[in-house]
Amino acid sequence: MTSHPGSTGPQATQDILASLHTVRDWLRYGVSRFVAGNVYCGHGNESPWDDAVQLVMQTLNLPLVENVQFLDARLVSTEKTCLLERIERRVHDRVPVAYLTGEAWFMGLAFFVDERVLIPRSPLAEFLAVGGEPWLAERPVRRILDLCTGSGCIGIAAALQFPEAQVDLADISPEALAVAERNIARYDLQDRVRAVQSDLFDQLEGPYDLIISNPPYVDEADLASMPAEYHHEPALGLASGPDGLDLTRRMLDQAARYLTPDGVLVVEVGNSAEALDEARDDLPFTWLEFDQGGHGVFLLNRQDLPG
């Protein structure tokens, strides 16, 4: 087991491995360690309990729900060693659980993730889950662009929600696109979904009926104050200038040329929403509301965009 500053010594480690036997034992231990270690839960999990359930169950390849029948199952020694290693990395190195297990969830779908991409947590899942209603009502959705795609979760979820659509997943990062391609293959969507390396629209050809994006939008002040967990994520996927709007400004100036006449642009800007409203008071933003939490997502129709 890898040693970490402040981690338990060899004898204490052996004592832990000898005294924790069942899935229930390890869930309890994980929660206790995360609370004592004051870990920050902000990547789709809301509490140390959520972190412990995800870490323990995914490490053991067990279901996250409807798993009561497994709670008193005893672990073998290799499983215990792996769990203790991951729990200690979560506490001492502040590695988010999704990077430890290699899996995250978006719109009820599982995606492979690692430190080349952000961990999915966008409220755009709720927009897609209802098929973009009422804003896409009676509009054809034949081509979709997921701009700044990262892991590909948004575009892949869109492809599954709109089974007749062709979907482009675009990102400037070849490392992120390698992850996206792995997720495309995971859902066997190679015939309808493709990954494209592009600096925003540079390598793309429209028009698209729907452009949806969760671009970098963290401003300098927020980036500097983020908990340590977020610094495991690629800065390229977070930072976007002093006010968090560098990429969004470019997107707004160019998007009209890549949309159909009835096309729609949907973009998440999070905490930079107020700054965007002030900077572009010429645009009639529709700010979406979400029942399951989240904010800072705007919608614009093609005719509302410049150009």
Domains of the chain: 10-101 (no CATH), 107-304 (3.40.50.150)
Expressed in angstroms, the distance from the first to the final Cα of the chain is 58
Distances (CA, A) of 144 to 54, 141, 191, 208, 265: 31, 7, 14, 6, 10
Number of helical H runs and strand E runs in the chain: 11, 9
Query: In this structure, what DSSP letter does residue 92 have?
Result: I
What pLDDT, in 10s, does the model give residues 205-251? Answer: 989 999 999 999 888 888 889 999 999 999 989 988 889 899 999 99
Q: Which residues of the chain have pLDDT under 50?
A: 1-6
**pLDDT value of residue 5:** 38
> Tokens representing 227?
């908990």
**pLDDT value of residue 138:** 84
Q: Which residue, among 209, 73, 242, 221, has the nearest Cα to 136 in the 3D structure?
A: 209
**pLDDT value of residue 8:** 58
* Residues 180, 178: Cα–Cα separation, whole Å: 5
Tell me the DSSP string of 31-79: HHHHHHTT----SS--SHHHHHHHHHHHHTT--SSS-GGGTTPBPPHHH
What's the whole-model pTM score?
A: 0.92
